[in-house]
Amino acid sequence: SIEFIDLDHPQIFAYTRTLDDDEVLLFVHNFYKKEVEYKLPAVGKLILSNYKDTKLEKEMRMKPFESIVMKLA
């Protein structure tokens, strides 16, 4: 299943995806060319990022066009 998060945020597209085995992934995307401050709903293990120096923090400064995927459960 998919659950969208912060649909009213002007720069961030975020959602969780729950897989059959109860694995929960969080996807967060900044689709704009400006940095943006974003408070993550949860912090897990980083699975994928399009920047090498991504550090997960509850309050992130996401770089232009940055996308991250993390495992929550």
Q: What pLDDT score was predicted for residue 20?
A: 84
pLDDT band at 73 (very low <50, low <70, confident <90, very high): confident
Cα–Cα distance measured from residue 18 to residue 42, given in angstroms and rounded to the nearest whole number: 14
pLDDT at 32 over 90: yes
Cα–Cα distance measured from residue 37 to residue 9, given in angstroms and rounded to the nearest whole number: 11
Looking at residue 41, what DSSP letter applies?
S
The rounded percent of the chain whose pLDDT value lies above 70 is 100
